[in-house]
Amino acid sequence: MSKTWFVTGTDTGVGKTAVCCALLIAAAQAGLRTAAVKPVAAGCNGEGYNDDALQLMASMTEVLDYAQVNPVALDAAIAPHIAASLEGRQMQANRLAGWCRGVMLGTADFVLIEGAGGWRVPINSRETMADVASHLQVGVILVVGMRLGCINHALLTAEAIRRDGLRLVAWVANQPGPRMDRHEENLDTLRQLLSAPLLGVIPFLPHRQAVEAATYLDIQSLLQ
Does residue 1 have a pLDDT over 80? Answer: no
Contacting residues for 175 by C-beta, under 8 A, at least 6 apart: 145, 146, 183, 201, 202, 203, 204
Does residue 29 have a pLDDT over 80? Answer: yes
pLDDT band at 207 (very low <50, low <70, confident <90, very high): confident
Q: What is the mean pLDDT of residues 134-147?
A: 98
Please name which of 153, 156, 85 lies closest in space to residue 123, comparing C-alpha atoms. 85
| pTM for the whole structure | 0.97
pLDDT band at 2 (very low <50, low <70, confident <90, very high): confident
Does residue 208 have a pLDDT over 80? Answer: no
Does residue 39 have a pLDDT over 90? Answer: yes
| Res 88: pLDDT | 96
Q: Is 16 a catalytic residue?
A: no
Q: What is the mean pLDDT of residues 137-165?
A: 98
Alpha-carbon distance of 90 to 103, in angstroms, equals: 22
Percent of the chain whose predicted confidence (pLDDT) is above 70: 100
Of the candidates 25, 37, 38, 111, the residue annotated as catalytic is 38
Q: Is 181 helix (H, G, I), strand (E, B) or coil?
A: coil
| Res 202: pLDDT | 97
Alpha-carbon distance of 173 to 186, in angstroms, equals: 10
Q: CB count, 10 Å around CB of 182?
A: 11
Alpha-carbon distance of 175 to 165, in angstroms, equals: 29
- Domains of the chain plus CATH, in order, are 3-223 (3.40.50.300)
